[in-house]
Chains A and B, each alone.
Chain A
Amino acid sequence: MLQFKLVLLGDSSVGKSSIVNRFVKDSFDEFRESTIGAAFLSQTVTIKDSDANGNEAQEVTVKFEIWDTAGQERYKSLAPMYYRNANAALVVYDITQADSLEKARSWVQELKNKVDDDSLVIYLVGNKIDLATDDDKDKREVEENVAKTYAEENGLLFSEVSAKNGQGIQQVFRSIAEKLYDIRKKQDATNNININSSAQRGNGPVDIHLQRPSTNDSTSCCS
């Protein structure tokens, strides 16, 4: 199983946590793990490996370690630890608040400063589309095209969602999983490593686990 760290960013009250909450609650799979008291949320996504040769598609399980800001973003007080080794970032804005996209842009900038990894996947998400239905278009303050253009210019994935009714949520995480899987596959092809034997890369010192990963992490030991 492949494991990736995903961080959430965006202004307070744009619905970062609701998106994750919706994703975790709506997901059903046998790898569902306990989240209570966990340092971060863990959730798996199953994707199909699109084989270039048209061979039979294989199922791949991707596990996200989702780090919430825990409110530390409010006064720009996120610790370096938060960004470290992040593989993906979900940058959220609220389509009913024009300035929240501006804030999202500054978070993208912050990310690019803090995370050196060029392969970091950034997904820009416009939340709360349930508030701007056909009957109530006035509430929308950020046009989809504006955000989309910005995302394309900056190499970000983009979509609009509703954490409230679940619209588009699963797809966000699936896309991130697919993109990350793709990147990992290419890296491993370059380095000539089998994608499934990715437990310890490089020959550095071995990490010591302070607690046997009991219920939380039965897989990380010998995967």
Chain B
Amino acid sequence: MLSPERRTSMAERRPSFANFSGNSNHIDTLMVPHLAGIEDPLPETTPEKVDVLIAGTGLVESVLAAALAWQGSTVLHVDTNDYYGDSAATLTVDQIKNWVNRVNNNDIISYNNAKLYLSTSIGPSCKYMSKDFGIDLSPKILFAKSDLLSILVKSRVHQYLEFQSLSTFHTYENDSFEKLTNTKQDIFTDQNLSLMTKRNLMKFLKFVLNWEEMPEIWQPYADKSITQFLFEKFKLEKPQVFELVFSIGLCCSVDTKVPLALHRIRRYLISYDVYGPFPVLYSKYGGAGEVSQGFCRSAAVAGATYKLNEKLYSYNPTTQVATFTDGSKVTVTEKIIMSPTQAPEGNQHIPDQKYEVNRMVCLVEKDCKEWFSEDESAAVVVFPPGSLKSGNKHVVQTLILGAGSECCPQNTSIWYLSTIESGVRAEMDLDAALEALEVSIVRESSSDITDNNDIVKIDEDGRPIINSVRLGQSFKEYIPRESVQHLMKLSYTQYTSTPPFDVVNPALFDNDELNNRANSVNKFIPNASDNGIIYTAMPSSEISYDEVVTAAKVLYEKIVGSDDDFFDVDFEDEDNDTVPQGASVNGTISYENAIDDDDDEDVDMGIRGDDSNEFVGQMEI
């Protein structure tokens, strides 16, 4: 822990701060961040001594690096890879090839069982180039009202990134995709809902927005499953329950406990309409990989030193010297934080990674527009338990990105599937979900062709495609001969210490307490290369960014002593009519929600109430 007297922050150490701080009349002290290299020449060589060494440029590590750098700690941030992102990286096809080889050589801890199929249409002088694709190892969506989003805004990292909206959530049921009924208007106009169901659904939606204040309703069910609660307490029917639990709540099983599920359902509803009529966003050019890069750049601007292709050889907690495989050394006065993927040879302290996430990524030669809302290029498809041929016990979550995301070329799309199921069952579930997606997209995209009244069409390669005659309104039984072209198919297993749909247990980060003999993992082991190193947890199965800030904050508190000044950066601009100092981004915000009771139909891009305008979203028209 740092000394009790607080270290001066980066802003305070700058000369411009000193000029002002002597002047007591100057109340609005300018908190001017260091502009690396712009104002002062940077130090020439690697620092000999740093406060914190962070290994791995994954999400949690990058957010932590930026938070510490802005707080005033000197940070050396390294990665064994020649790219940013580590476990959250966005990779090209060539990089994926290389990554798969390393996983199968057991070179990357926390992954195994990587399988790759690659079409010959990707490569030099082929139809597609390797770098046309940005493939996320850990695909994520960003809720419009979430802790990471506030920090993106506060730290101004969002300025390095571009975001797009995602409003379409499909629930797969009875061999078809049901688009989500998530707004009041949808509920009222939905012909398939009985009046009673509509009323019950509205009742629940009103409750869930303020569920914490109404324990009398849910307390009796606190240890019960959300499905039981919805069936019994709100008399909802299965389709609505599944939508609420799996698409809106993005929960993993029917057994999800009531409070957790309510929290997750509410998360979706309060995010809706913050920036527009959609609950989540995603970053262009790649998800978590881009966000990591943004935080690393922010950390660099605040003075952190970056070194890719750098691998730790060992750390000696007594002398505090960390030695790298290239022979360089650095003294680390506070802590070493490391992703398990970066562990040195001879490591013996990597925490248990009890939980499995099985992922599949397909690059598909179809634009998949049928699944997207107009002017969008992404969708989430959820396969609830029992909806697949494989009889899946757990949900399969799918994120679909089209060319508009700039992650893949025109007329292609990326499908990310994942499940917390393990072993052979996981493979069966993912395969079944993939098949369901293929059948669906072929069916939906082919119905366009029949609209042209042409019986025979010629495809790009000059082959005729014979269309069958319309089979009435429903194409359910109709499976065209056309098939989905896979450009790439990748599957792998990732391990994590974070339980599914939960946040990290802070006790995980107690490895440095060398005197703690109670837990053998934490003991000093004479020949281990990683005594005293704190390992991070690896990305969890969570499809949103929601666990990231929690984990980074726990680590930050461990290093700094408190999380009070976590991203306490106050960029006071020349223009003073912005947010008053100290205004909390997390303050209470009364939101304009589509489910609110009033019949307000105007499209309010902003949010009301609160004196803070930091959260006001705006769409570029």
Contacts and interface: CB of A to CB of B under 8 A. Distances in A.
Contact of A34 (B83, B305, B573, B618): B573
Given A36-B32, A37-B573, A209 B38 contact: no
B619 A206 contact: yes
A49 interface: no
B621 A71 contact: no
Interface in B305-327: 305-310
Contact of A211 (B32, B305, B569, B616): B616
Nearest to B285: A84
Given A37-B573, A205-B375, A222-B621, A212 B616 contact: yes
A171 to B, nearest CB: 21
Interface string B57-70: 00000000000000
A221 B165 contact: no
B377 A205 contact: yes
A13 B83 CA distance: 24
A39 B41 contact: no
B301 interface: yes
A77 interface: yes
B375 A206 contact: yes
B563 interface: no
Interface string A182-222: 00000000000000000110011111111111111000111
Contacts of A215: 573-575, 578
Contacts of A70: 36-37, 297, 300-301
Given A38-B159, A80-B293, A207-B162, A214 B578 contact: yes
B617 A72 contact: no
Contact of B42 (A71, A199, A212): A71
B574 A34 contact: yes
Interface stretch (B149-157, B190-198, B346-354): B149-157
Given A36-B574, A212-B616, A68 B305 contact: no
B539 interface: no
A215 B577 CA distance: 9
Nearest to B298: A39
A211 B614 contact: yes
Contacts of B376: 205
Nearest to A214: B578
Interface in A118-153: none
B414 to A, nearest CB: 15
B613 interface: yes
Interface size class of B (residues with CB under 8 A): 35 or more
Given A13-B41, A206-B164, A36 B572 contact: yes
Contact of A208 (B159, B275, B308): B275
A37 B569 contact: yes
Given A13-B41, A215-B578, A209 B569 contact: no
A167 interface: no
Nearest to B276: A208
A69 interface: yes
A213 B620 CA distance: 11
Which of A39, A40, A77 has the most C-beta atoms of chain B within 10 angstroms of its own C-beta?
A77
B98 to A, nearest CB: 16
Contacts of A82: 297
Contacts of B574: 34, 36, 215
Contacts of B614: 211
A68 B569 contact: no
Which of B275, B293, B405 has the most C-beta atoms of chain A within 10 angstroms of its own C-beta?
B293
A17 interface: yes
Interface in A26-44: 34-41
Contact of A36 (B37, B83, B573): B573
A205 B620 CA distance: 10
A73 B565 CA distance: 29
B153 A210 contact: yes
A12 interface: yes
A208 B36 contact: no
A48 to B, nearest CB: 29
B5 interface: no
Contacts of B564: none
B91 to A, nearest CB: 11
A31 to B, nearest CB: 13
B290 A204 contact: no
Contact of B159 (A16, A40, A71): A40
A16 B84 CA distance: 24
B235 interface: no
Nearest to B162: A207
Contacts of B102: none
B33 to A, nearest CB: 5
A106 interface: no
B158 interface: yes
B164 A208 contact: yes
A34 to B, nearest CB: 4
A79 B84 contact: yes
A131 B152 CA distance: 43
Given A72-B300, A81-B297, A206-B165, A38 B36 contact: no
Nearest to A81: B293
B484 interface: no
- 4 smallest beta-carbon distances between A and B, as pairs: A37-B571, A215-B575, A39-B159, A70-B300
27 contacts: A17-B41, A36-B572, A36-B573, A36-B574, A38-B159, A68-B35, A68-B37, A71-B305, A72-B296, A77-B308, A79-B84, A79-B293, A79-B296, A79-B297, A80-B83, A81-B285, A200-B620, A204-B377, A205-B164, A210-B153, A210-B275, A211-B153, A212-B617, A214-B578, A215-B575, A216-B159, A216-B573
Interface of B: 30, 32-33, 35-39, 41-42, 44, 83-84, 149, 152-153, 156-160, 162-165, 275-276, 281, 284-285, 290, 293-294, 296-298, 300-301, 305-310, 375-377, 403-405, 569, 571-575, 578, 606, 613-621
